[in-house]
Amino acid sequence: MTDRLGRTQRFYTRWARLYDLLAVHTPGIGSLRAAAIDRLAIQAGDTVVEMGCGTGANLPLLCQQVDPDGQVIGIDVSTGVLSVASDRVARNGWANVHVVRGDATEPPVEKGSADAVFASLVAGMVDDPAGMVDEWADLVGPGGRLGLLDLARSSDRRARPLNGLFRRFVTTANPRSVRESTAPLATLDRRVAAAHRQLGERCSDADSATRALGFARLSAGTVD
Ligand SMILES: C[S@@+](CC[C@H](N)C(=O)[O-])C[C@H]1O[C@@H](n2cnc3c(N)ncnc32)[C@H](O)[C@@H]1O
């Protein structure tokens, strides 16, 4: 495991319960998750892999959409968040949802075994987000679906007064490797843009939109 991944795993293991509260109860986050998952156009019976699933805040929606005949596989590197996600799965009695430890940049999933890959708030955490999206496109193969939800700085004029608040959110809600980088927001913006751009490269029907005054980026498409 690289130093960066080790720091990520320690951070999200230590703060898993607090992160879960933010992931589920931050005002507006539920409707962003629903809008992003809606764009993924999951069919009943699909197998969906959620990369960097964290505490499982997306699992209720994903589970509902695949129906009992499909399945959801959540992958995350941090044991603490996976333990919260496992509790959520057990509490809800979801027999078709499995959470496993793994690196989203080298997912432990056989190529061609998933219909769709979804990831929210993960692209900004890796050094090569475009390479990661490429890996996911290869995993689902032609006809497979990709969906991303990310937060980055907004260029919307109406959002300017909130950019300071967003900076504080990014610098407190991220591992030290992100907080201490010389320009954490610029790094986040660059990574998020690269991931969404790469989705566009791999899916000719890619559909992208912004929400939440431009702070949220949603993209989805079918791999060519
Ligand atoms: C900001 S949280 C988002 C969690 C969840 N997707 C959500 O929307 O609430 C980022 C998650 O990505 C995970 N993560 C970061 N880099 C990863 C990697 N290379 N492989 C697997 N998980 C990773 C972290 O452990 C953390 O749980």
For residue range 180-218, what is the model confidence (pLDDT) as tens digits?
566 788 999 999 999 999 999 999 999 999 999 999 999
CATH 3.40.50.300 fits 3-222, yes or no: no
Q: Domain segments of the chain: what residues? A: 3-222
Would you state the torsion angle of the CA atoms of residues 20, 152, 29, 208, taken in this order, to the nearest 10 degrees? -130
Which residue's CA is the closest to the ligand 1 atom numbered 3? 121
Q: What is the mean pLDDT of each run of 10 residues along the chain (224 residues)?
A: 88 95 95 98 97 98 95 98 98 97 97 97 96 98 98 90 83 68 84 98 97 96 98
Residue nearest to atom 10 of ligand 1 (CA): 122
| 76 CB near ligand 1 (under 6 Å) | yes
**E strand intervals along the chain:** 47-51, 71-76, 97-101, 116-120, 145-151, 207-211, 216-222
